[in-house]
Amino acid sequence: MAVPKRKMSRSNTRARRSQWKASAATLVTCVNPACREKHLPHTACPSCGQYGPKGARRQTLQP
């Protein structure tokens, strides 16, 4: 395993760590013309339950 030859200063360590940023989740618009809400890709719409553009054949059951 590689071992650093010199100690990294606190400011350099914090500057390196500050580059790790969380990115926002990508959202897609529901294909249901009556709904058009944003939801995560490859999941059923939480408001109307539709998954994909196939219409009533692919609707999921809502609890």
Rounded distance between C-alpha atoms, residue 29 and residue 4, angstroms: 48
Residue 8 placed within a domain: no
How many domains are there within the chain? 1
Rounded distance between C-alpha atoms, residue 33 and residue 35, angstroms: 6
Beta carbons within 8 Å of 44's beta carbon, 6+ residues apart: 50, 51, 60
pLDDT tens, residue order, the chain (63 aa):
889 899 999 999 888 888 787 788 899 999 988 999 999 999 999 998 888 887 555 555 655
Residue 30 placed within a domain: yes
Question: Domain containing 54: what range?
Answer: 24-63
pTM of the model: 0.53
Contact criterion met (CB below 8 Å) for 31 and 25: no
